Amino acid sequence: MDEKEIIIIAAIAIPVTLVIIVIVLFSVFSRRKNRLLQEQENAKKEFDRELAESQIEIREETLRNISWELHDNIGQLMTLAKIQAQIAKDKPEMMAEVSETIGTGIDELRALSKLINPESLKSLSLREAVSLEIERFNRLKFIAAELTVNGTEIPIEVNTQIILFRILQEFFSNTIKHSKASILKVVISYSDKELAITALDNGVGFEKDNDFMGIGLKNMKTRAQLINSVLTIDSAKGEGTALHLRYKFA
């Protein structure tokens, strides 16, 4: 092959190669871009679905709580007030006690009305929402619950907060229903970069390889992933259960 032939081949091959490279580059990058956009859209749909499900579950849990409160707390107070009022017919000095019991009932009703308000979680911060749950557990004597907040509170985006709250609510619900625990401790720690939540009980616990919480645990993990947070659940038989959640601020 002489020099002229080499030059002719090069003169044809170089532009052809460049055109092929441009086409390949364009098609590879645009395909990858379209796939990523599709994945983002799917992730958004998944997030919206989980958010809607979380909201429904929070609402159901709230209705259940209202039912318990009406039956076990306010109902009992009203029954007591009725008995006291009947006694007060003969002993008018008892009227002060009747009034006090009714007053307590009214206070409990006010506390309950906060829970009924569908906008409550949107207007409350995560700390306030968790604090209300903890107060309720103590008031109804479900469990001895305690909340500790470290650091300066940083506002969290409403939808993310709903999902975080629902994860904790699910954990609390499992603790109360299944763990036979007497103590529940919740620690919320704010730092500049992240929010760390730890919730632990002193219940019966479970072996990690057991599918103890089943779908509930999977849901919690899926939801944690959706808001780019890391959730771990540690438990051993007889040693209680601990939830650790780390949410990085964007």
Distance CA 24, CA 16 (A): 12
By beta-carbon proximity to another protein, the closer residue of 22 and 52 is 22
Q: What tokens does 193 get?
A: 């970069």
Residue 231 φ/ψ, nearest 5 degrees: -120, 130
**Positions in the binding site for another protein (CB under 8 A):** 3-4, 6-7, 10-11, 13-15, 17-18, 21-22, 25, 28-29, 32-33, 36-37
By beta-carbon proximity to another protein, the closer residue of 7 and 96 is 7
Least distance to another protein from the beta carbon of 226, Å?
17
By beta-carbon proximity to another protein, the closer residue of 13 and 95 is 13
Q: What tokens does 151 get?
A: 């650091």
Least distance to another protein from the beta carbon of 206, Å?
38
Least distance to another protein from the beta carbon of 9, Å?
9
By beta-carbon proximity to another protein, the closer residue of 25 and 158 is 25
Q: What tokens does 24 get?
A: 């390949």
Distance CA 248, CA 167 (A): 16
Residue entry with tokens 């619950």: 145
Least distance to another protein from the beta carbon of 31, Å?
9
Q: Which of 75, 80, 72 is nearest to 99 (CA)?
A: 80
Q: Which of 195, 194, 73 is nearest to 137 (CA)?
A: 73
